[in-house]
Amino acid sequence: MTFDPKDCGTCPIRHRAVCARCEADELETLDGIKFYRSFEAGQPVIWSGDNMDFVASVVTGVASLSQAMEDGRTQMVGLLLPSDFLGRPGREAATYDVVAVSNLTLCCFRRKPFEKIMLQTPHIGQRLLEMTLDELDAAREWMLILGRKTAREKIASLLTILARREASLALQTAESGTSFELPLTREAMADYLGLTLETVSRQMSALKREGIVLLEGKRKVIIPDFDALMAETGDDADGGMVS
Amino acid sequence: MTFDPKDCGTCPIRHRAVCARCEADELETLDGIKFYRSFEAGQPVIWSGDNMDFVASVVTGVASLSQAMEDGRTQMVGLLLPSDFLGRPGREAATYDVVAVSNLTLCCFRRKPFEKIMLQTPHIGQRLLEMTLDELDAAREWMLILGRKTAREKIASLLTILARREASLALQTAESGTSFELPLTREAMADYLGLTLETVSRQMSALKREGIVLLEGKRKVIIPDFDALMAETGDDADGGMVS
DNA sequence: GTTGCGCTTTGACCCAGATCAAAATGCGTG
DNA sequence: CACGCATTTTGATCTGGGTCAAAGCGCAAC
């Protein structure tokens, strides 16, 4: 449960180019209230309705936010990768179920002190606004996927989103085919896309059969021709996608 | 095209209880760069990709944000009622198609000056963060609707959302049955819910037939028993919904 | 090795909602 | 009032993805 503080180098609320003036104070103050928590794949981080006395930033691993209906239907509504922010300043209770999709490390800040620091350091609020607006754009892209795309387009869209996000993290751009770790089970993919796991499996098999994606082991996805995958998403050829 | 400045009393970025200190300046400065624009029902406000040199707040009427695929499939991704905010500080181009769903009046601020004022008045940024987080919660609720609900549940959910939002605007709480203006065509409802307009029509007819909603004219919706409608949404009986 | 268990794949069938088509309902206009 | 046009309703049929069921496929533990 102990980590090198530099692990939190990804912490996005610190990434500010401007105003070196208060930068030092800010880091210092945030450092004073931060602590790390780790979760194993599959473990719950918090349940909807629980008291949530911290906010956090993902250091490593993947977490999901999801909403469940009482009959068991589940929809994932957020997928948090390293540098993503979890929690809402000013809110007492968690609004969603948060689960560690893979092994997960969070850099947490106790909520009350964090809110106080936010008032003193406009930067943090500004940065948080940026991030929230980006998340909102991503949510809206996701709404198009859920509402209007076919199962095949949904799968292709998810794969391009994951490929892009992992690529931007590990700034290895694709030259001879992109590849990335698929951290999601079939069921998690289904919950992301509003499908059943059987349909996800069938469409993955179809894409594999057609050579649009290759699977290595069960986790590694290889995309020999990214444009060919893009063509299956239903989006414009150019970068019509947000984020 | 001229409006009484107090029309903008709904302008949400001014609603701040705290800090009377800079309140005066803020209002003054914002007033200096604001102007009004009106649109008739059906008119486009801006197309995705267009240069957007303003941000705005809805004064009266309803606007929609939507995304279209090149084959014509359309998904609404935002529905703006009075007091909602339109546009993104720091972004040059519009990301979505914005259409006036009903007659619409916007209180606009030129983007560049607005961004400058934002830097000077942390309030505005804080308020905008609040609003954006609320919108994100709404978007996530919407994702559950799109991904997991049946057509009937989708319709019921939309009606409760509209009833609630209109009620909160015109603080007339329901005593003997709620009622509200339905500003959306069947097609707009379909685009909101990821359905076809035929399915929307059929489900509306079914709810009408069963007495769960009454229609007066073509715009007025009466809900004799709000709980009965709620029971059709698939959500928990208690206020499990956000916003 | 083999047993057990969770995850994934594949198959057979079904149904909610899409699609295609036509009629009905408004409603502004000459 | 009758015409034209957009919107909505209703009907008939089709189909993509859901549902139910049964194998496969690792892989960790013994």
* pLDDT tens profile B203-233: 999 999 999 999 987 789 999 999 999 999 9
CA distance B110 to A163: 37
- Rounded to whole angstroms, the distance from the CA of residue A196 to the C1' of nucleotide D27 is 25
pLDDT tens across B132-150, in order?
Answer: 999 999 999 999 999 999 9
Instruction: From A209, A211, A205, select the one nearest A224 (Cα to Cα).
Output: A211
Query: Contact B144/A67, CB-based, under 8 Å?
Result: yes
**How far apart are the CA of A4 and the nearest CA of chain B, in angstroms?**
31
- Tell me: pLDDT of B74 over 90: yes
User: Where residue A236 falls among pLDDT bands split at 50, 70, 90?
Assistant: confident
Q: What is the mean pLDDT of residues B77-99?
A: 96
User: Where residue B64 falls among pLDDT bands split at 50, 70, 90?
Assistant: very high
Mean pLDDT of chain B: 86
CA distance B206 to B212: 9
Architecture label for domain A149-230 = Orthogonal Bundle (1.10)
Q: What is the CATH number of domain A5-142?
A: 2.60.120.10
Size of interface A-B (CB pairs under 8 A): 98
Query: Contact A148/B69, CB-based, under 8 Å?
Result: yes
Return the residue in B47, B48, B69 with the most chain A beta carbons within 10 A, the one to mutate for interface testing. B69
For residue B77, what pLDDT is reported?
98
For residue A240, what pLDDT is reported?
45
- Tell me: pLDDT of B108 over 60: yes
Residues 6 or more apart in contact with residue B189 via CB below 8 angstroms: B155, B158, B195, B197, B200
CA distance A51 to A57: 18
Give the nearest chain B residue to A144 (CA atoms).
B75
Instruction: From B203, B228, B225, B205, select the one nearest B215 (Cα to Cα).
Output: B205
pLDDT tens across A192-227, in order?
Answer: 999 999 999 999 999 999 999 999 888 899 999 999
Least CB-CB distance to B142: which of A122, A125, A143? A143
Q: Does A126 touch chain B (CB under 8 A)?
A: yes
- Rounded to whole angstroms, the distance from the CA of residue A233 to the C1' of nucleotide C12 is 29
Those of residues 134-173 in A touching chain B at CB distance below 8 A are: 135-137, 139-144, 146-148
Q: What is the mean pLDDT of residues B108-134?
A: 92
**How far apart are the CA of A41 and the nearest CA of chain B, in angstroms?**
24
For residue B30, what pLDDT is reported?
76
Q: Taken in order B64, B177, B220, B58, is the CA torsion positive or negative?
A: negative
pLDDT tens across A170-200, in order?
Answer: 655 545 578 898 889 999 999 999 999 999 9
- Enumerate the residues of chain A whose CB falls inside 8 A of the CB of residue B140: 65, 67, 77-78, 96, 139
Those of residues 84-103 in B touching chain A at CB distance below 8 A are: 88, 90, 95-96
Q: Is the CB of B150 under 7 A from strand D?
A: no
Q: What is the mean pLDDT of residues A131-140?
A: 97
pLDDT tens across A28-66, in order?
Answer: 677 778 999 999 999 999 999 999 999 999 999 999 999
A185-189, B91-95, B116-120, range with the lowest pLDDT: B116-120
Q: Does A210 touch chain B (CB under 8 A)?
A: no
- Tell me: pLDDT of B19 over 50: no
Within chain B, all domains assigned CATH 2.60.120.10 are found at 5-142
- Tell me: pLDDT of B129 over 70: yes
Name A216's bridge partners.
A220
For residue B4, what pLDDT is reported?
43
Q: What is the CATH number of domain B150-230?
A: 1.10.10.10
- Tell me: pLDDT of B113 over 90: yes
- Tell me: pLDDT of A8 over 70: no
More confident of the two residues B3 and A30: A30
Give the nearest chain A residue to B191 (CA atoms).
A147
A42-51, A134-143, B175-184, B189-198, range with the lowest pLDDT: B175-184
Query: Contact A194/B148, CB-based, under 8 Å?
Result: yes
For residue B1, what pLDDT is reported?
40
Within chain B, all domains assigned CATH 1.10.10.10 are found at 150-230
For residue A183, what pLDDT is reported?
86
Task: Locate B12 and state its tokens.
Answer: 């949400």
Q: What is the mean pLDDT of residues B53-81?
A: 96
pLDDT tens across A92-105, in order?
Answer: 999 999 999 999 99
Q: Does B69 touch chain A (CB under 8 A)?
A: yes
| DSSP state string for chain B | ----GGGGGG-GGG---S-HHHHHHHHHHHHHHEEEEEE-TT-EEE-TTSB--EEEEEEES-EEEEEE-TTS-EEEEEEE-TT-EES-TT--B--SEEEESSSEEEEEEEHHHHHHHHHH-HHHHHHHHHHHHHHHHHHHHHHHHHHH--HHHHHHHHHHHHHHHHHHHS----SS-EEEE----HHHHHHHHTS-HHHHHHHHHHHHHTTSSEEETTTEEEES-HHHHHTTS-S-SSS-S--
pLDDT-above-70 percentage for chain B: 83
For residue A12, what pLDDT is reported?
59
For residue A11, what pLDDT is reported?
61
Rounded to 5 degrees, what are φ and ψ at B79? -130, 115
Within chain A, all domains assigned CATH 1.10.10.10 are found at 149-230
Query: Contact A148/B122, CB-based, under 8 Å?
Result: no
- Rounded to whole angstroms, the distance from the CA of residue B219 to the C1' of nucleotide D1 is 26
- Tell me: pLDDT of A242 over 50: no
- Enumerate the residues of chain B whose CB falls inside 8 A of the CB of residue A130: 90
Q: Does A220 touch chain B (CB under 8 A)?
A: no
Residues 6 or more apart in contact with residue A23 via CB below 8 angstroms: A16, A123
For residue B191, what pLDDT is reported?
98
For residue A40, what pLDDT is reported?
93
For residue B166, what pLDDT is reported?
80
Mean pLDDT of chain A: 86
For residue B172, what pLDDT is reported?
53
For residue A241, what pLDDT is reported?
46
Q: Which of the nucleotides lies closest to B202 (Cα–C1')?
A: D9
Query: Contact B75/A193, CB-based, under 8 Å?
Result: no
Query: Contact B144/A75, CB-based, under 8 Å?
Result: yes
For residue A177, what pLDDT is reported?
72
